[in-house]
Amino acid sequence: MTKIEIIMADVRAKIATVTYLPGTRLPSVRATAKHHGFSPSTVVEAYERLQTDGIIVSRPGAGFYVCDIIAPLSLAAIGPNLDRAVDPLWVSRQSLETTSEALKPGCGWLPPDWLYAEGMRRGLRYVAKADTSVISEYASPLGLLELRQLLTRRMAGLGIEAKPAQVILTESGTQSIDLIFRFLLMPGDTVVVDDPCYFNFHALLRAHRVNVVGVPYTPTGPDVDAFASVLNEHKPRLYITNAAIHNPTGATLAPATAYRVLQLAQAAGLYIIEDDIFADFETTPAPRLAALDGLSKVFYIGSFSKTLSASMRCGYIAAPNEWVEHLLDLKIATGFGGGQLAAAVVLSALTDSGYRKHMAALHTRLARARAQTVPRLTKLGIVPWLIPQAGMFLWCKLPDSRSAAALANHCLSKGVVLAPGNTFSQSKNAESFMRFNVAQANDAKIFEVLAQALN
Amino acid sequence: MTKIEIIMADVRAKIATVTYLPGTRLPSVRATAKHHGFSPSTVVEAYERLQTDGIIVSRPGAGFYVCDIIAPLSLAAIGPNLDRAVDPLWVSRQSLETTSEALKPGCGWLPPDWLYAEGMRRGLRYVAKADTSVISEYASPLGLLELRQLLTRRMAGLGIEAKPAQVILTESGTQSIDLIFRFLLMPGDTVVVDDPCYFNFHALLRAHRVNVVGVPYTPTGPDVDAFASVLNEHKPRLYITNAAIHNPTGATLAPATAYRVLQLAQAAGLYIIEDDIFADFETTPAPRLAALDGLSKVFYIGSFSKTLSASMRCGYIAAPNEWVEHLLDLKIATGFGGGQLAAAVVLSALTDSGYRKHMAALHTRLARARAQTVPRLTKLGIVPWLIPQAGMFLWCKLPDSRSAAALANHCLSKGVVLAPGNTFSQSKNAESFMRFNVAQANDAKIFEVLAQALN
């Protein structure tokens, strides 16, 4: 960034975060120059460019003012001025945009042929023969009853008591979270996240213009003492976390931690979103906050994009009883009726006798991939923070405290997409960490590129 | 509503709309009693119940204060205290929730067997055989290229020049609008709507906490003089309207109106969303604002839920070039990658040789249904405001200025779901109007129930 761009970004960010309201007079050229330690001519140039962009206006003799029509929401402008390589949106887009030839050990999902494509194909053929109403009509507001019933049975297996009338189908896990955020959060509210946590939580929270506070994640869950002080100091409204297998660390919540977190949350009147999209990867079930809490302040969400297919969008929310009607109103207002087809295909694939067999084989395949990948990484001095019980992730420390962002930038130019640690970290304390996906790390070229880069 | 409930709803609404911030001291019991003309004991009871609900707290000797943790977003609370029968969400939910046995002349879509179910079935079977990446993987951020290319060719036929890189696939038409709202609007902004307009615009705008101003709709488009004064007086940020066939009136935008609206909008720096979900119903194409404007300030959106299927969710946005990247960031943050399957099925159905034939037959079928329905309504004194050139809607005036809301409530108890006028009207000036869907008005029972109710 040039000095001019720094000033422009600063003004844009203050407008985007409503620090500067429409009509606000900008600080004088002299004051801004002094503040940044730049020359006045740099500030003048920046202000003039902002004027050309239609963001501020000059009133002769009176200075510069923020235009009445303010700039549209720019997620890039709202966030802190991040290095693009650790911007959560950048990492998502790298994974989504790169061609299938690119190697993606930083990717957050399985390769397509590891998912349950056969079950999806059968589901599509089955649904092609369904009643015309299934083919053509909107779903009911809650969505396909049979799928909601199946989900409550699966939840019951994890100790979560939910009635089908508490389960709302959505378009995806992310949409589930977004809907709850819209419902619970106002700009300026504070939200607690795990540090590190799934990077798209950061992007989504940014879109909601809320304050985010991180709590260090330990191998058994969030650091409970730090969690207690954050509740005490910041009075947050919501805590969002993963169930089952934590992203990016692969850690599992211990029962004692779950119990203490919930006690603290209840005492503080905190809402919790428990994101369980990795549920089916578990081999030994971990405790669920939603089970302990009885869906009183916990919203439990999930989707099928990590095991069945990411191409057919379908997720769900199990919500506290009293919020179901409000969430449905919001779902209809913002997306109108859902469809029936995605839910019908997902139901068919999940109830298909092959799904269990597929998941059992996947567990074995992931264990094998983990066992292969760990020594290949440690040989390069890249050391897992822990060896997860299940799932696809390895959260690793780079040798000699190397910069993960620099490594990711370098490897991208060689066709290898990585996921640098600070993308996941609210405190930016994960500079020399990297998340690897063992299911996407089979190609020897990945380790050659890493070895060259680390030399 | 009891008097106590009125006071409670009033306080809740003021909290929801941020008129009362957390920590705000409520007006005294005496002042509130005087303001509403109720007794002080009623106010005390209402405040105590709000305290029980955890919304306000009493500080002894100092009065009542809004709690620091404010109530979650309730769309019902944010809106004016509407008669539930003219609440837009109520009408959506009636149509979505009622069983297929109910008669739904108030419904906004075609009966399932009028849609292109055969093409959807073929599309599902075709996609079941596609590459595993199509079955399993996220789409690219913009979505399936072939569908975006097809959409630009269709737009070109309407004079809209868009490149495939300007077209973003979404989950639905409503999600397209919601994404643009999130991008362009801040709470407190002003948005112009047609009066009357599609009722879910009201619900969605309510979820965005913006001010809404209506402009009367005439048989050739919005009243241009009223539009000019609204721009002048309210400095709105956005205008949202239908292209092709206006919902609920069935009117069509005249070229001269389109030109003047666009001139006024450009002079005022107004953004426009042009919602073209009824495009394929047109027999003679009307002008498109996006064509005149060259996608400079106009966002053009659509979906396939009214012709192909509402059960497979897929919509799109053609956006001004400079906003595409920002919209994509927001799409990823709020919904992550889209899927490929819905787009692939839609592409297959649209390019299928049967689609044109299906639409031609549908045009004829709708014209016949319109010709049958008009005399059945006029016989009851229910008179169309205009006879539309195309589409499914008839916007009708009831005899003797009868209340459409009362009629709708009565008919609902007889199993007939209607769409009363004020649901669509920002000014609530459509009390004795009713929208009928000619495709859902074939059953003689509808007219019997109406005749009895009007007697």
pLDDT above 70 as % of chain A: 93
pLDDT tens-digit series, residues A46-78: 988 888 777 787 776 778 888 764 445 666 555
Phi-psi region of B156 (alpha: psi -120 to 50; beta: other; left: phi over 0): alpha
d(CA A327, CA A179): 7
Report the mean per-residue pLDDT for chain A: 90
Task: Find, among A302, A13, A329, A333, the residue nearest to A160 by Cα.
Answer: A302
- Give the range among A95-104, A350-359, B21-30, B237-246 with minimum mean pLDDT: A95-104
Q: What is the 3-state secondary structure (H, E, C) of chain B?
A: CCHHHHHHHHHHHHHHCCCCCCCCECCCHHHHHHHHCCCHHHHHHHHHHHHHCCCEEEECCCEEEECCCCCCCCHHHHCCCCCHHHCHHHHHHHHHHCCCCCECCCCCCCCHHHCCHHHHHHHHHHHHCCCHHHHHCECCCCCCHHHHHHHHHHHHHCCCCCCHHHEEEECCHHHHHHHHHHHHCCCCCEEEEEECCCHHHHHHHHHCCCEEEEEEEECCEECHHHHHHHHHHHCCCEEEEECCCCCCCCCCCCHHHHHHHHHHHHHHCCEEEEECCCHHHCCCCCCCHHHHHCCCCEEEEEECCCCCCCCCCCEEEECCHHHHHHHHHHHHHHHCCCECHHHHHHHHHHHCCHHHHHHHHHHHHHHHHHHHHHHHHHCCCCEECCCCCCCCEEEEECHHHCCHHHHHHHHHHCCECCEEHHHHCCCCCCCCEEEEEHHHCCCHHHHHHHHHHHC
N-to-C CA span, chain B: 29
Report CB contact under 8 Å: A334, B137. no
Average pLDDT for B398-403:
95
Tokens describing residue A89:
């949106």
* B268–chain A Cβ distance below 8 A for any pair: no
* B71–chain A Cβ distance below 8 A for any pair: no
pLDDT tens-digit series, residues B288-341: 999 999 999 999 999 999 999 999 999 999 999 989 988 998 999 888 878 899
* Cβ-contact B310, A137 below 8 angstroms: yes
User: Measured between beta carbons, which residues in chain A are less than 8 angstroms from residue B67?
Assistant: none
* A73–chain B Cβ distance below 8 A for any pair: yes
pLDDT at position B86 is 63
User: Measured between beta carbons, which residues in chain A are less than 8 angstroms from residue B200?
Assistant: 332-333, 336
Looking from the CA of A128 toward its CB, the CA atoms found within 13 Å total 20
Name the β-bridge partners of A435: A395, A419
* A269–chain B Cβ distance below 8 A for any pair: yes
Task: Find, among B388, B394, B391, the residue nearest to B373 by Cα.
Answer: B394
The confidence band for A14, taking pLDDT boundaries of 50, 70 and 90, is confident
Name the residue among A74, A138, A326 with its Cβ closest to that of B326.
A74
Name the β-bridge partners of B218: B221
Task: Find, among A301, A321, A138, A178, the residue nearest to B200 by Cα.
Answer: A138
Instruction: Tell me which residues of chain A, numbers 388 to 417, contact chain B at a CB-CB cutoff of 8 Å.
Output: none
- Give the range among A196-210, A438-452, B225-239, B364-378 with minimum mean pLDDT: A196-210
Pairing of strands A315-318, A298-303: antiparallel
pLDDT at position A25 is 83
Q: Taking 70 as the threshold, does the pLDDT of residue A117 lie above it?
A: yes
User: Measured between beta carbons, which residues in chain A are less than 8 angstroms from residue B204?
Assistant: 333-334
Report the mean per-residue pLDDT for chain B: 90
**Highest-scoring range by mean pLDDT, A415-429, B403-417, B429-443:** B429-443
pLDDT at position A5 is 85
Average pLDDT for A274-286:
94
**Highest-scoring range by mean pLDDT, A17-26, A441-450, B25-34:** A441-450
Instruction: Output the CA–CA distances (angstroms, integers) from residue B422 to A87, A406, B109, B404, in the order listed.
Output: 46, 59, 19, 8
Instruction: Output the CA–CA distances (angstroms, integers) from residue A290 to A323, A326, A328, in the order listed.
Output: 15, 20, 20
The confidence band for B110, taking pLDDT boundaries of 50, 70 and 90, is very high
Upstream peptide bond of B219 is cis (omega within 30 degrees of 0)? no
pLDDT tens-digit series, residues B65-88: 887 644 456 665 554 444 565 677
Name the residue among A70, A89, A112 with its Cβ closest to that of B137.
A112
Report CB contact under 8 Å: B138, A174. no
Instruction: Tell me which residues of chain B, numbers 220 to 259, contact chain A at a CB-CB cutoff of 8 Å.
Output: 235, 237
Instruction: Tell me which residues of chain B, numbers 133 to 172, contact chain A at a CB-CB cutoff of 8 Å.
Output: 133-141, 171-172
Name the residue among B97, B269, B333 with its Cβ closest to that of A89.
B333
Report CB contact under 8 Å: B175, A335. yes
Q: Taking 90 as the threshold, does the pLDDT of residue A171 lie above it?
A: yes
Task: Count contacts between A and B (CB, < 8 Å).
Answer: 249
Average pLDDT for A418-440:
94
pLDDT tens-digit series, residues A213-255: 999 999 999 999 999 999 999 999 999 999 989 999 999 999 9
Instruction: Output the CA–CA distances (angstroms, integers) from residue B82 to A21, B87, B234, in the order listed.
Output: 32, 6, 24
Instruction: Output the CA–CA distances (angstroms, integers) from residue B174 to A230, B147, B310, B380, in the order listed.
Output: 38, 19, 12, 35
Name the residue among A140, A174, A328 with its Cβ closest to that of B335.
A174
d(CA A423, CA A295): 31
Q: How far is A63 from chain B (nearest CA, A)?
A: 23
Instruction: Output the CA–CA distances (angstroms, integers) from residue A12 to A1, A5, A51, B50, B65, in the order listed.
Output: 14, 10, 12, 41, 36
At residue A385, what is the residue type? W
Report CB contact under 8 Å: B139, A311. yes
Name the residue among B122, B206, B332 with its Cβ closest to that of A203.
B332
pLDDT at position B412 is 87
Average pLDDT for B258-277:
96
Tokens describing residue A302:
């999930």
Task: Find, among A115, A61, A45, A279, the residue nearest to B137 by Cα.
Answer: A115
Q: Is the dihedral of CA A127, A128, A130, A133 positive or negative?
A: positive
Nearest Cα residue in chain B from A71: B184
Q: Which residue's entry shows tokens 């979900």?
A: B277
The Cβ of residue A99 has, within 10 Å, a number of other Cβ atoms equal to: 7
User: Measured between beta carbons, which residues in chain B are less than 8 angstroms from residue A184?
Assistant: 72-73
Interface test with A, best of B68, B135, B237 (most A CBs within 10 A): B135
* A355–chain B Cβ distance below 8 A for any pair: no
- Give the range among A329-338, B90-99, B177-186, B281-290 with minimum mean pLDDT: B90-99
Average pLDDT for A372-384:
97
* Cβ-contact B190, A350 below 8 angstroms: no
User: Measured between beta carbons, which residues in chain B are less than 8 angstroms from residue A129?
Assistant: 121
pLDDT tens-digit series, residues B148-199: 999 999 999 999 999 999 999 999 999 999 999 999 998 789 999 999 999 9
Spell A242-261 as b/e; 16+ CB within 10 A means b.
Answer: bbbbbbbbbbbbeeebbebb
Tokens describing residue B426:
């920002």
pLDDT at position B71 is 43
pLDDT above 90 as % of chain A: 70
Q: Taking 50 as the threshold, does the pLDDT of residue A270 lie above it?
A: yes
Tokens describing residue B260:
């003047």
**Which residues lie closer than 8 Å to A27 by C-beta, 6 or more apart?**
A35
Chain CA centroid to CA B360, Å:
26
Q: Which residue's entry shows tokens 């620090």?
A: A19
- What size, in residues, is chain B? 455
Complex ipTM above 0.85? no
> DSSP secondary-structure letter at A390?
S
Name the more confident of A127 and A207. Answer: A127
Interface test with B, best of A100, A129, A138 (most B CBs within 10 A): A138
Domains in chain A and their CATH numbers?
Answer: 3-74 (1.10.10.10), 84-108+355-454 (3.90.1150.10), 117-352 (3.40.640.10)
Name the more confident of A88 and B324. Answer: B324
Q: Taking 90 as the threshold, does the pLDDT of residue A95 lie above it?
A: no
At residue B348, what is the residue type? S
* A97–chain B Cβ distance below 8 A for any pair: yes
pLDDT at position A49 is 84
pLDDT tens-digit series, residues B353-366: 899 999 999 999 99
* B21–chain A Cβ distance below 8 A for any pair: no
pLDDT at position B100 is 65
Name the residue among A203, A312, A334 with its Cβ closest to that of B204.
A334
pLDDT above 90 as % of chain B: 70
